[in-house]
Amino acid sequence: MKSTIFETIDRHAERFKAISRFIGANPELGHEEFLAAARLTDELAEHGFTVERGILGIETSFIATYDSGKPGPVVAFLAEYDALPELGHACGHHLICMMSIGAAVGLKSVIGQTGGSLRVYGTPAEETKGAKVPMAEAGLFDDVDIALMAHPFYRYERSGSSLAMDALQFEFFGRAAHAAANPEEGVNALDAVLQLFNGLNALRQQLQPDARVHGIINSGGQAPNIIPDYASAQFYVRSASRAYTDLVARKVKACAEGAALQTGCTLQISNYEYSYDELRTNETLSAAFTRNLEALGIPAADIADGNDHGSLDLGNVSTRCATIHPFVRTVGERHSLHTREFRDLAQQEPALDNMILTAKALAGTACDVLCDPGLLAAVRAEFAAMTGQSGS
């Protein structure tokens, strides 16, 4: 059965590569991925998927579905296709989307035999306001058995963890005055921001090692001879769990409230991006993916344990269904994500070849779950134990 999947992917490989090249050459920021979304949905429709666009009012999102008409698990492949400001596709999302679509097209070739149904979720803006968050909150993954995607990198890593994250903005409102003539009439909003930074620098000593609090001043006044009546700062607050991130966020907000009190400013706190939960890898599903990589010729010694690479909106999906997010080698040199060097190598033929190999590994993993009731039961049992939910 897997030979049929792989033959199907190989038959369409050049077309898949062409679409990836097109998206890579036409980078679009989050929620502006109109060219990418159109190419991806057109391709899925051509392969017989029923495509619903503009999910939850998010213009560049989609869900493409193919139902075998027979009972069985629901398999989801997740596609990302947003780019980075100035850098373009330096995170390899032009590869991610075609890994998932290639896997879906390959799996579709046998799903009439295995039963079950197949979905591709088009999830915009992973780099900022990730669409997976409202999709998960709306219950769009609640009937999914397994959700799979893979991320380009310079080496293979098993699906690991990510950091839960809150994106907090602190706006301080004071009173302007001439800084030389009558400073006593002013209330300095920039002083409040500086006090916030000082408070957070002291707070870090009392945080767990996995916690991260980092930010910038995004507005600090207009001229040095005017006491600023408005200043603001944006922070990311992260840790290895949602529960501890919530605790740290409360402490950070308390520091801001103290800064406002000390300076006489008023304070407004808001979230400028969605909050992300930590990724909870389903280890049973992850092991199945690793076995498929090995079967495709990747030596076990080349597959490292999973690491934390920051924060992902996929974490919110992993609280709803069994999920994996392995990293796969797509460039031959050791370059970090979000760099020009990685971007340039990720456009070249070796990266596209590895994109096709990864599509096969993803499809092969899903095929294993569809064909092996014992594997499916183990995946579901692990998800239930991890989350307290029964799964679909």
Reported as a single tens digit per residue, the pLDDT across 17-74 is: 999 999 999 999 999 999 999 999 999 999 999 999 999 999 999 999 999 999 999 9
**Domains of the chain, each with CATH number or no CATH:** 1-162+278-387 (3.40.630.10), 164-271 (3.30.70.360)
- pLDDT tens for residues 201-220? 999 999 999 999 999 999 99
Selection from 123, 135, 149 nearest residue 36 by Cα: 123
Q: Are 386 and 309 in contact (CB under 8 A)?
A: no
* Residue percentage of the chain with pLDDT more than 90: 96
Q: Write the pLDDT tens digit of every residue in 162-193.
A: 999 999 999 999 999 999 999 999 999 999 99
Residue located via tokens 């916690």: 211
Q: Report pLDDT for 307.
A: 79
Q: How confident is residue 309, by pLDDT bands cut at 50, 70 and 90?
A: confident
390 has a pLDDT exceeding 60: no
Contact, 309 vs 351, CB < 8 A? no
Q: What is the pLDDT of residues 22-34, one digit of tens each?
A: 999 999 999 999 9
Q: Percentage of the chain with pLDDT > 70?
A: 99
pLDDT tens sequence across 208-254: 999 999 999 999 999 999 999 999 999 999 999 999 999 999 999 99
Distance between CA atoms of residues 254 and 251, nearest Å: 5
Whole-number Å distance between alpha carbons of 336 and 349: 19
Question: Model pTM?
Answer: 0.92
- pLDDT tens for 71-129 read 999 999 999 999 999 999 999 999 999 999 999 999 999 999 999 999 999 999 999 89
Per-chain mean pLDDT for the chain: 96
Which tokens hold the place of 147? 């959700």
Question: Of the candidates 371, 319, 335, which has an alpha carbon nearest to the alpha carbon of residue 90?
Answer: 335
Tell me how far apart the alpha carbons of residues 274 and 256 are, in angstroms, rounded to a whole number: 20
Are 314 and 149 spatial neighbours (Cβ–Cβ below 8 Å)? Answer: yes
Confidence grade of residue 342 (pLDDT, cut at 50, 70, 90):
very high
How far from the centroid of its chain's Cα atoms is residue 183's Cα? 47
Phi–psi pair at 63, nearest 5 degrees: -130, 120
Hey, is 213 helix, strand or coil?
A: strand
239: part of which helix (H) or strand (E)?
Answer: strand 230-239
Under a CB-based contact definition with an 8 Å cutoff, are residues 9 and 106 in contact?
yes
Side by side, the strands of the sheet bearing 117-122 are 50-53, 62-67, 117-122, 74-79, 146-148, 322-324
* Res 271: pLDDT: 96
Q: For residues 356 and 368, what is the distance between their CA atoms, to the nearest angstrom?
A: 19
- Two tokens, residue 85: 């400001």
